[in-house]
Amino acid sequence: MKQSDFMKYKEILIVDGTSRENGYTKKLLEFFKSNVNAENVATFEAYKESFNFCDGCNFCESNEHCKFKDLDAFMKAFEAADLIVFTTPIYNGMMSAPMKALIERLQPYYAYFYKHNKTQKIEKRRRAIILASSGRDGEEALQYIEAQYKYAFSITNIEFIGSALCNFTDTSANVAKAEEKIKNILERMDLQ
């Protein structure tokens, strides 16, 4: 796929994994939103939504959808989005708990992918970025988080574009460095 195929973004889905309204992850998200020109931006706030965890029942193996209906609207937006922005604070070297729970609910896509000889259930190719913050040095943790997301992206037809991290938020956060990284990502994607 050529770069020009991604120049226009009609649908952006923000999957917000932070509970702190004035935290650094939200600051990165607000910076991103203020620099994006898109037709439609939808937000799913994982901490505010009440959804079931994947219980490993294997219902999706034979039905190609989850037995729980609580994320149907999210899944519809997830499939329709041209760009998906995942935000998370880094806690104990990992993404926030609701974000992990949400990734696990992508199990119907895994089941479809492997049941159908590695065929994507979502035909539309999309892109994704990750915005994160960490109280300490989160560089190594971000690599682990990226690896987890990349696996989920591989079965949901998503190209990972990049991530921006605001480090040391407990002591001396460097927001400007993270904002510069976001600008670089946007410039590469031609979203500004």
pLDDT of 5 reads: 37
pLDDT in the model for residue 9: 65
Cα–Cα distance measured from residue 166 to residue 179, given in angstroms and rounded to the nearest whole number = 8
Least confident of 1-5, 26-30, 73-77, 146-150: 1-5
Cite the beta strand spans of 53-189 per DSSP E: 83-90, 126-134, 158-166
pLDDT at 110 over 90: yes
In the chain, the N- to C-terminal Cα span, in Å, equals 21
pLDDT surpassing 60 at residue 192: no
pLDDT interval class at 173 (50, 70, 90): confident
Q: What is the CATH topology of the domain spanning 3-47+57-189?
A: Rossmann fold (3.40.50)
Q: How does pLDDT run across 123-158, given as a tens digit for each residue?
A: 999 999 999 999 999 999 999 999 999 999 999 999
Q: Would you list the domain boundaries of the chain?
A: 3-47+57-189
Please give the backbone phi and psi of residue 62, each rounded to the nearest 5 degrees, phi first: -105, -15
pLDDT digits (tens, 9 = 90+) for 19-69: 999 999 999 999 999 888 777 899 999 999 999 999 999 999 999 899 999
Q: What's the whole-number mean pLDDT along residues 151-169? A: 95
pLDDT band for 7, please (50, 70, 90 cuts).
Answer: very low
Separation between Cα atoms, residue 109 and residue 15, nearest integer Å: 18
